[in-house]
C-alpha cells in the first residue's frame, strides 16, 4: 500500500550556492522538502520509528525529515527531484 504523503509536505526555497553568475544571486532555485515524521497523521508508530532509525542523519531535532535539491536552475525541477528522492 502506497501512502500519499503530499498533504503533509512543506517546500521551502532558498538561493543556490555555487557557480551560476548573476542568476544564482537573484533567484531562489534551491528547494528543501520538509516532512515532520512525529506529527504525521498518515504514518503509524512503527513506520515513524523505522524512519527515525534509518534516516536520523537527515532529520532535525524537531523530527523534520529534510530532502534538498539545487541540481538545476529550475525551481520546479528541483521540487520534482526532492519528491523523487523522498
pLDDT at 26 over 90: no
pLDDT at 55 over 70: yes
Residue 66: its pLDDT value, please?
97
Residue 16: its pLDDT value, please?
75
pLDDT above 90: percentage of residues in the chain: 65
Classify each residue of 25-39 as buried b or exposed e, where b means 16 or more C-beta atoms within 10 Å of its C-beta.
eeeebbbbbbbebee
- Average pLDDT across the chain, whole number: 88
pLDDT above 70: percentage of residues in the chain: 85
Amino acid at each position: 500500500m502506497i501512502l500519499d504523503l503530499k498533504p503533509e509536505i512543506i517546500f521551502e526555497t532558498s538561493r543556490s550556492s555555487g557557480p551560476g553568475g548573476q542568476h544564482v544571486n537573484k533567484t531562489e532555485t534551491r528547494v528543501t522538502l520538509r516532512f515532520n515524521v512525529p506529527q504525521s497523521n498518515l504514518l503509524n508508530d512503527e513506520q515513524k520509528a523505522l524512519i527515525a532509525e534509518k534516516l536520523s542523519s537527515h532529520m532535525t531535532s524537531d523530527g523534520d525529515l529534510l530532502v534538498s535539491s539545487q541540481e538545476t536552475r529550475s525551481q520546479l525541477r528541483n521540487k520534482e527531484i526532492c519528491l523523487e528522492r523522498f
